[in-house]
Structure 1
Amino acid sequence: MKVTKHFLTAGAVILNQQNKVLLKKDPHRGWELPGGHVEQNESLKETAIREIKEETGITVEITKFCGISQEVSKGRCNTWWLGKPVSGEFKSGLESMEIGYFEIEQALQMIQIKEFREEFLKCLDEKDHPFYISFI
């Protein structure tokens, strides 16, 4: 039996007090939720907090685990969280050409990758937590 290597990531839906969602614009994938790869000796929750800070400049508090999505053909498992902003100012960079808070309906139109929209909607549907979805 062949053991395959999988990559683990953590991302989050960050909602501010006006119930607007934090998005970043990746130079290749377009608008998306912030998140990234888990580093050695780092918890999944710590990864989400670190990645959001690195990609957006915003310090967040993670409030809830939402679920997992698996990208089967890419060997990637994504963990999803809900959170809220605590402090910080937008900071763009190589991974984030633009950053902003957007109304949920607007965000759904901005996110062009179908799987990203599905993950976002699953995170918002708290009665379905924890969720598991897979993409081929």
Structure 2
Amino acid sequence: MVNHGNKILLVNGYTRGWEFPGGFVRKDESIKAAGIREVKEESGINIDHLHLLGVEQIVMKSTIVFLLKANPVSGKLSISSETKDAGYFTIDEAKRKITLESFKERMMRCFDAQEIPFLIEK
């Protein structure tokens, strides 16, 4: 999620540290609806205008990650039972905050116009 100042929304979770908001798609839920719900649950922000940036498949874990871009429409930054902090950061700030290398690579891929849309298999 990118705000009007071109800053990235990150949440600080209890196990992986700073990352994009995200989670699982529930039964009978669309990918778009899951994205909207997860961002709201983890950060307090309501989003719309979701666009697919790319897909990452982690073959050995049978996991598929959909990377979406969205705009904020309302809400106030807040924490949840899943997050201990949330905030908007520049790309450079986000690179310093995110500690997992694979999450940094994911973020940079999302901002590389030449890579979008992407399909990554790991």
TM-score per shorter chain, which class? over 0.9
**TM-aligned CA deviation for residue 117 of structure 1:** 1.1
The question of 1:79 aligning with 2:66 is answered yes
One-letter identity of the residue aligned with 1:97: K
User: Over residues 51-91 of structure 1, what are the superposed CA-to-partner deviations in whole Å (9 max), with x where a residue is unaligned?
Assistant: 00011110011342111011222221001111111100112
Alignment check: 8 A CA contact 1:62 1:81 kept: no
The question of 1:116 aligning with 2:103 is answered yes
Question: Which segments of structure 1 move beyond 4 Å, counting only runs of 4 or more?
Answer: none
2:115 aligned residue (97, 114, 128):
128
1:52 alignment partner in structure 2: 39
Greater mean deviation of Cα atoms: 18-27 or 118-127: 118-127
Alignment check: 8 A CA contact 1:49 1:62 kept: no
**Aligned counterparts, 1:1-136, within 5 A:** 14-135=1-122
**TM-aligned CA deviation for residue 23 of structure 1:** 0.3
What is the percentage of aligned positions where both structures have the same residue? 38
Alignment check: 8 A CA contact 1:53 1:59 kept: yes
SS in 1 for 2:55: strand
Larger radius of gyration: 1
**Structure-1-length-normalised TM-score:** 0.85
Query: Which stretches in structure 1 are left out of the alignment for 5+ residues?
Result: 1-13
Query: Which stretches in structure 2 are left out of the alignment for 5+ residues?
Result: none
